[in-house]
Amino acid sequence: MLVKERKATLRQACRDLVRAKAGSESSRLAGERAQEHFLAEFPPRSGMAVAIYNSVRGEVGTDRIRGACLAAGAELYYPCVAEGGTLEFHPHRDGDGWAQGAYGIPEPPRLPGRPPRTDGFDLVLVPGVAFDRMGRRLGQGLGYYDRFLARLPGDVLRVGLAYSDQLVEEVPVDDWDVTLHALATEEGVIRFPQGSGAQKK
């Protein structure tokens, strides 16, 4: 089976699994524990530039992480879909409000004098559909995060956030897929043995 077909099969299976539990009390509690583990392992600090995201159905929420970052004085940047199939990360502060973005996902309003950040991130929080213990990640299939991660210096900390059900034996990869440094779930934080850039075959 081709990598593309293997990805599609795994993506659908994991989506079905987490969406079946979405909205349940157990899912909510698991999501909160995953965020707590993340914050214990990667505590925010003043002036830190963090790329974060608004979760969609079936993903672990990010509200606790957002609150802790704002309380610590970290700078938060959320993705906005730009032309050419790329992501731009725009700043978002407490009280800014949200604009309706692509696919119904809230995005920061594009305000005058506040351009998107293109580099200098200290930490990137990465969503995904499935992950494995080598730091490989399966996204939604549109390639937005793949292209963004490929532009980052290899030492920028890339951390996934997921439910333990999304941890699978193996994620199929292409040459352009970028590995992560760690994954936070409700069971704890996994540090990966690699995570230095594009996965090599």
CATH of the domain at 23: 3.40.50.10420
User: CB neighbours of 102 closer than 8 A, spacing ≥ 6?
Assistant: 81
Quick one: pLDDT at residue 1? 61
Instruction: Please state, in angstroms and rounded to a whole number, the distance separating the CA atoms of residues 74 and 69.
Output: 5
Provide mean pLDDT across the span 94-117. 89
Domain count along the chain: 1
Report if residue 199 sits inside a domain.
no
Q: Which pLDDT tens digit goes with each residue over 7-60?
A: 888 888 888 777 777 778 888 999 999 999 999 999 999 999 999 999 988 889
Burial of 123-148, coded b for 16+ CB within 10 Å and e otherwise, reads bbbbbbbbbbeebbbbbeeeebbbeb
pLDDT higher than threshold 70 for residue 198: no
Nearest to 199 by CA among 12, 8, 10, 3: 3
pTM of the model: 0.89
How many residues comprise the chain? Answer: 201
Q: Which pLDDT tens digit goes with each residue over 85-104?
A: 789 999 999 989 999 887 88
Residue 11 near residue 168 (C-beta atoms within 8 A): no
Report if residue 98 sits inside a domain.
yes
Report if residue 201 sits inside a domain.
no
User: CB neighbours of 67 closer than 8 A, spacing ≥ 6?
Assistant: none
Report if residue 63 sits inside a domain.
yes
Q: Please give the residue range of the domain that contains residue 140.
A: 3-191
User: What percent of the chain is modeled with pLDDT above 70?
Assistant: 96
